[in-house]
Amino acid sequence: MKFSVPSVLAMASCLTAIVNAQDEAAQLSSLMSDAANKILAQLAADEVASAKRGVKASCTVKNIAIRREFGSLAPLERKAYTNAVLCLQMKTNLTPLTLIPGARSRYDDFVATHQNQTGFIHFSGTFLGWHRYYVWSYEQALRNECGYTGYQPYWEWSKWADSPQTSPMFDGSEYSMGGNGEFINHTGIVIPPPVAGVNPTVYLEPGFGGGCVQSGPFANMTVNLGPIGPAGGLIINGTDTNAPTGPDGGFGYNPRCLKRDVGPFCLQKYNNYTRIYNLMTLRKTIKDFQDDLEGPVGTGDLGPHGGGHFTIGGDPGGDLFTSPGDPAFYLHHAQVDRVWTLWQAIDPETRQYSLSGTNTMLNDPPSANTTLTDYINLGYAAGLPLQMKDVMSSVAGPFCYIYI
């Protein structure tokens, strides 16, 4: 068989791309492992120092919780996690209906808290710390209220960037986080600028779903709250299918199916190995790190944070306010926390307690800079408020966990 020169060059280019991707994956894996080992080494040293003072360390190498990538869990471990989520969706809500009329479950307590505080916890100084406490509190609810014995798994974006819809998270098996939405022929999401004249409108390619999730553990799930922001953003036969704001401003009872539009476009563009490696190695300050993670304002770049959310898409995944209504949210934000945790570990002396930003989204309305003494309050979702200084380390304050 003979090949033309162009075809040979094309094959060579393809092979080079595969090798480069493998190299980037190996480099990022090594970087992450080294950072995790630094955390464990420091924890062991702190335990020795505490013992010399006659103090027993609360978080140690022996009792630290290990958070793992969802696909690396055994099938029955994945099933135990989704069973706990389903359990939480069956438990009675703590949030009063006078406050959130649409809350119908303990799971909704978490959704409502995120809805209520969205304007203060994105593009702000509280973004990373707030979500760290939020995901941990959700993990604690699964363990303490629903008998889950594992820990919060995370979604390794880059590993599955080329085909997230067939990954262990979204392949629709009983051991997944549920399948993609039913396929609907549609164009992609159109994201209006959060600040007119500052951010450009973003046009995304469509995923391979768009309709209701019909397979896996969440095939029959009911979403109760929202939408508040654009949910789905699909254009079908020229018709905008964004659901109107739900009753009571999105806080009312609005039962509907869980929709997803999973596809590779966003992960390939915003969450690939190169992007995450550069985030970890080139961003030296918390401001630069957070700007890159959330997407630099004014560029139309969604960043890895936005890339993950819009890979899930759908309703409520495409709604900034109500996105925790999709259980995949918590694996996405565990990965956000993982990246921050290990970035901090690379240079803990300057990064562990660094903050950047104010107490409102994009400083609108203008507000004070976030400080370590500011409080995080998760309302009815969790326990007592914590100060920012208490959520700056995954192995201090109430926390004792690490990512591998």
pLDDT in tens, 318-337: 999 999 999 999 999 999 99
Q: Is the pLDDT of residue 16 over 60?
A: no
The helix-helix angle for 127-146 and 286-294 (nearest 10°) equals 70
Position 40 scores a pLDDT of 97
Q: Are 341 and 394 in contact (CB under 8 A)?
A: yes
Place 172 in a pLDDT band, splitting at 50, 70 and 90: very high
How many CA atoms are closer than 13 Å to the CA of 1, on its beta-carbon side?
3
Q: Is the pLDDT of residue 235 over 90?
A: no
User: Distance between the two ends of the chain, CA-based, in angstroms?
Assistant: 46
**What angle (nearest 5°) sits at the alpha carbon of residue 64, between those of residues 355 and 29?**
70
Position 148 scores a pLDDT of 99
Hey, how many other C-beta atoms are within 10 angstroms of the C-beta on 253?
16
Position 20 scores a pLDDT of 66
Q: Is the pLDDT of residue 82 over 60?
A: yes
Position 222 scores a pLDDT of 98
Measuring CA to CA, how many Å separate 107 from each of 48, 215, 262? Answer: 40, 20, 23
Q: Is the pLDDT of residue 127 over 80?
A: yes
- Among the listed ranges 5-14, 209-218, 259-268, 358-367, which one has the minimum average pLDDT value? 5-14
Place 15 in a pLDDT band, splitting at 50, 70 and 90: very low
Pairing between strand 65-67 and 235-236?
unpaired
Position 340 scores a pLDDT of 99
- Among the listed ranges 3-7, 81-85, 266-270, which one has the minimum average pLDDT value? 3-7
Structural tokens at position 18: 């595969």
Place 229 in a pLDDT band, splitting at 50, 70 and 90: confident
Place 240 in a pLDDT band, splitting at 50, 70 and 90: low
Place 307 in a pLDDT band, splitting at 50, 70 and 90: very high
Superfamily of domain 19-403: Di-copper center containing domain from catechol oxidase (1.10.1280.10)
- Stretch 96-108: mean pLDDT: 98
Residue 357's nearest CA partner among 79, 127, 143 is 127
Position 194 scores a pLDDT of 63
- Stretch 214-227: mean pLDDT: 97
Query: What ranges do the domains of the chain cover?
Result: 19-403
Q: Is the pLDDT of residue 265 over 90?
A: yes
Q: Is the pLDDT of residue 232 over 80?
A: no
Q: What percentage of the chain carries pLDDT values higher than 90?
A: 83
Q: Are 202 and 300 in contact (CB under 8 A)?
A: yes
Cα 260 to Cα 35: distance, rounded to the nearest angstrom: 34
pLDDT in tens, 138-159: 999 999 999 999 999 999 999 9
What residues are paired with 375 via a beta bridge?
A: 387
Position with higher pLDDT, 11 vs 23: 23
Residue 157's nearest CA partner among 6, 336, 295 is 336
